[in-house]
């Protein structure tokens, strides 16, 4: 049977030779469980394909919009043709259908799911936003935003995730971090004992990784000396007020973080350095000190061992405020 002989109206079911079916290049799903395919092939041999593949005509072939797994299993089972439903869809509609179908399947990897969301958002003229995608797919805007953030994983972390060495909970926590901190966080996903590779190491609970991140990566914005609204302090970074890397602003990603914090240590330190430079320029007699006990030769900053710190502290109940003197060793 050739494509010229398919004269039935669109939307009806017809049998099409497997040689005339092609997999869609836009389908976000790229990985399949080989064992599951073999099981499905066995079922198809005995019962046939119970649910027709959804296809659309592209040039002289039929592109599979959904049903890739059934198509591959049919090839394994030795079938020559498969039942299909032929529909008319634009590229954007076909991609949308593929993404919605993938969301209904538990075996689709979240990273591929994220790639599908991004493909829709980037499709020219489609007019998709996260909110529109949420309405189309039945998922929350927060769900889609977090999935999209997975695409910010640096290659070593993305590889560990797609290989199954870390779970979605760990990947989502790491994806929120700056690229310079992600590999450090990946190392803290596992217990410390030596192993040949990540697959042989013990994965720690996501709650333990989150605690480490909050203690070692997130930087509190509660009492920073610079203005969070200043857009000119570091011009390329802009202000902290509307920064997606600020937990207090980006509630879609950081709903579980209570304290307003910065997740980009490099940017945070650039702003801190810029603020100090501005203060030094305005106040040339300002003396700079550091908590480090030594400084590079020729530096104007006074090291911790060369100054005495006086800290006011509250006395016992009913007592006076008394200074506490910490004398540094000379």
Task: Please indicate, yes or no, if residue 145 is contained in any of the structural domains.
Answer: no
Domain boundary among 216, 232, 260: 216
Residue 330 pLDDT: 31
Task: Please indicate, yes or no, if residue 315 is contained in any of the structural domains.
Answer: yes
Q: Looking at the structure, tell me whether residues 184 and 304 fall in a common domain.
A: no
Task: Please indicate, yes or no, if residue 234 is contained in any of the structural domains.
Answer: yes
> Whole-angstrom Cα distance, residue 79 to residue 67?
15
Tokens at residue 250, please? 């980006």
Q: Looking at the structure, tell me whether residues 226 and 126 fall in a common domain.
A: no
Q: Looking at the structure, tell me whether residues 38 and 131 fall in a common domain.
A: yes
Q: Looking at the structure, tell me whether residues 47 and 88 fall in a common domain.
A: yes
Residue 7 pLDDT: 39
**Total count of domains within the chain:** 4
Q: Looking at the structure, tell me whether residues 33 and 46 fall in a common domain.
A: yes
Residue 278 pLDDT: 86
Tens place of pLDDT for every residue, the chain, 330 residues? 444 443 344 556 788 899 999 888 777 777 777 888 888 888 888 888 888 888 888 888 889 888 888 888 898 888 998 999 888 888 878 877 877 777 666 567 889 888 888 888 887 667 788 898 888 778 888 888 889 999 999 999 999 999 889 999 999 999 988 888 899 999 999 986 555 665 567 899 999 998 888 888 888 888 888 888 888 888 888 888 888 888 888 777 777 677 788 888 888 888 888 988 888 888 877 777 887 777 777 677 788 888 887 765 555 555 544 444 444 333
Q: Looking at the structure, tell me whether residues 68 and 175 fall in a common domain.
A: no
Domain boundary among 140, 163, 193: 140
Residue 3 pLDDT: 41
Task: Please indicate, yes or no, if residue 146 is contained in any of the structural domains.
Answer: no
Residue 293 pLDDT: 79
Task: Please indicate, yes or no, if residue 97 is contained in any of the structural domains.
Answer: yes
Task: Please indicate, yes or no, if residue 319 is contained in any of the structural domains.
Answer: yes
Q: Looking at the structure, tell me whether residues 52 and 108 fall in a common domain.
A: yes
Q: Looking at the structure, tell me whether residues 210 and 314 fall in a common domain.
A: no
Residues 6+ apart with CB under 8 A from 176: 149, 253, 254, 263
Residue 206 pLDDT: 92
Task: Please indicate, yes or no, if residue 147 is contained in any of the structural domains.
Answer: no
> Domain range holding 14?
3-140
Q: Looking at the structure, tell me whether residues 28 and 103 fall in a common domain.
A: yes
Q: Looking at the structure, tell me whether residues 172 and 235 fall in a common domain.
A: no
Task: Please indicate, yes or no, if residue 255 is contained in any of the structural domains.
Answer: yes
Domain boundary among 164, 199, 216: 216
HEC per residue, 160-189:
HHHCCCCCHHHHHHHHCCCHHHHHHHHHCC
Q: Looking at the structure, tell me whether residues 248 and 198 fall in a common domain.
A: no
Exposed e or buried b for every residue in 247-272, given b needs 16+ CB within 10 A?
Answer: bbbbebbbeebeebbbbbbebbeebb
Q: Looking at the structure, tell me whether residues 136 and 18 fall in a common domain.
A: yes
């Amino acid at each position: 049977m050739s494509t010229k002989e398919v004269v039935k109206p669109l939307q009806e079911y017809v049998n099409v030779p497997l040689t005339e079916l092609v997999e869609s290049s836009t389908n976000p799903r790229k990985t399949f469980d080989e064992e599951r395919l073999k099981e499905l092939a066995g079922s198809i041999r005995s019962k046939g394909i119970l649910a027709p593949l959804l296809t659309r005509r592209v040039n002289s072939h039929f592109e599979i919009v959904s049903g890739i797994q059934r198509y591959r299993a049919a090839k394994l089972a030795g079938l020559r043709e498969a039942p299909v439903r032929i529909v008319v869809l634009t590229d954007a509609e076909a991609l949308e259908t593929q993404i919605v179908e993938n969301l209904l399947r538990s075996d689709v990897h979240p990273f591929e799911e994220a790639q599908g969301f991004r493909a829709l958002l980037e499709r020219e003229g489609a007019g998709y936003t996260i909110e529109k995608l949420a309405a189309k797919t039945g998922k929350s805007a927060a769900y889609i935003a977090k999935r999209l953030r997975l695409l910010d994983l640096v290659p070593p972390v993305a590889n560990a995730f797609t290989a199954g060495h870390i779970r979605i909970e760990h990947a989502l926590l790491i994806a929120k971090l700056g690229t310079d901190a992600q590999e450090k966080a990946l190392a803290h996903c596992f217990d410390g004992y030596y192993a040949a590779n990540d697959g042989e190491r013990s994965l720690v609970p996501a709650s333990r990784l989150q605690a480490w991140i909050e203690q070692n990566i997130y930087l509190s914005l509660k009492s920073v000396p610079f203005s969070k609204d200043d857009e000119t302090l570091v011009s390329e970074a802009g202000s902290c007020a509307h920064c997606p890397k600020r937990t207090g602003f980006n509630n879609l990603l950081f709903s579980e973080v209570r304290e307003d914090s910065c997740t980009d240590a490099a940017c945070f330190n650039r702003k801190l350095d810029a603020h100090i430079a501005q203060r030094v320029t305005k106040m040339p007699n300002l003396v700079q000190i550091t908590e480090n006990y030594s400084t590079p030769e020729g530096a104007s900053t006074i090291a911790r061992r060369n100054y005495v710190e006086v800290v006011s502290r509250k006395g016992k109940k009913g007592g006076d405020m008394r200074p506490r003197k910490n004398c540094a060793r000379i």
